[in-house]
Amino acid sequence: MPGVIYTSLDKTTAIAEIIRGLRSRGVSPNSFGPDDWWVYGVRVSITQPLELEDAQARSTLDVTPEILVGNDTTQTRRVGNYARENNFQAILAPSAAARGQKNLVLFLDRLPAGPQVLSSAPIDLRSSR
């Protein structure tokens, strides 16, 4: 399958998503050192995102905001398949880990150019709750 990058629109949300993902797999964020995880600031050009905050888009996909932030990956994978099959470059979706925030799922093979890394920094998950 072509590459996909799961990103967030801000650093705090990205860290919350990492912590949620680890915990959902039974892994404690405390088991990592201060340099084991890094956060990157990137710039990307997108002209065709599937915006899931749009009620019409959710209606077309027969999903609710609650489904989009739930734990059932069956529905979110279905949305991802729809986006890929309909040539969207990315999905703008609500964050399940940071209510009111957003994630951006990038389909690398659909972008006109790859993401440009602007910055990088280690993050200490033990102090990022």
Query: In the chain, which stretches have pLDDT less than 70?
Result: 1, 129
Give the rounded percent of residues in the chain with a pLDDT score beyond 70. 98
Give the rounded percent of residues in the chain with a pLDDT score beyond 90. 91
The answer for 68, left when phi > 0, alpha when psi is -120 to 50, beta otherwise, is alpha
Given this model, what pLDDT does residue 6 score? 94
pLDDT tens for each residue of 52-70: 999 999 999 999 999 999 9
